[in-house]
Amino acid sequence: MPDFAIPPFQPFAIELDRGSLALAPTGPLLTRRLSDLEGLFADPAACEAAVEHDDEVVYTVASSTVPETAGELPQSITRIRPGRVSGEFYFTKGHVHPVAEGEIYLGLEGEGGLLLYDGSQVIFLPMAPDRIGYIPPGWAHRSVNTGDSDYSFLAVYPGAAGHDYDWVLEHGFGARVFAGDAGLELRSYTDPGSRIR
């Protein structure tokens, strides 16, 4: 037997319902509304107006029961609703892991993307069902729903990695994702009028 520093979590299986994307057993459920994302969209006034209007749910994160502790590999399913604020697609807050560790995402439904930023370079990985997105250690990551239905994915990450949301407030994300006339547009984070590609 390995010499465990902490008592091991019992092995178990998790059922993923492919229709509802519910996990059984299931852990905590987090709901993020537009009001939780105030200050993050390129057009803060439009976001504020949408918050006043109905403060829509932008995304939910349903976690498994695996604890966020050293050595464990917790999982969660994020479901991002379709929507835009002044043309900017709905997204997750985005974070870096203060303990530099990798993470994998598996697309489950819908169309989306993974915006990755290391402080200078910005990468956009299109995501779709059955596509695995790899987030290397140290890269800030944000998910974007670029379709007109829910975009959902499974995330698996090291339990001691932690989540730092302040880094993004300070450094931004390098790019924003907009719906353009001829499809998806990546625009400068600080100057959303200027197109990157």
In the complex with Zn ion, which residue's Cβ is closer, 59 or 178? 59
Q: Which does 195 bind (CB under 5 to 8 A by kind): Zn ion, ligand PAN, none?
A: none
Q: Is residue 19 packed enough to be buried (19+ CB in 10 Å), middle (13-18) or exposed (0-12)? A: exposed
d(CA 90, CA 76): 19
* Minimum distance, C-beta of residue 161 to Zn ion, in the bound complex (Å): 7
* Minimum distance, C-beta of residue 126 to ligand PAN, in the bound complex (Å): 16
**Which helix (DSSP H) or strand (DSSP E) does residue 84 occupy?**
strand 84-85
Amino acid at 182: A
Q: Name which position in 33, 81, 84, 93 contacts ligand PAN (CB under 6 A).
A: 93
Nearest to 158 by CA among 103, 118, 116: 103
* Minimum distance, C-beta of residue 181 to ligand PAN, in the bound complex (Å): 29
92 near ligand PAN (CB under 6 A): yes
Nearest to 160 by CA among 105, 78, 101: 101
> For ligand PAN, what does the binding mask look like between residues 28 and 57, x meaning CB under 6 A?
------------------------------
* Minimum distance, C-beta of residue 95 to Zn ion, in the bound complex (Å): 6
Whether 30 contacts 57, CB under 8 Å? no
What residue ranges bind ligand PAN (CB under 6 A)? 61, 76, 78, 92-95, 103, 141, 143, 155, 157, 163
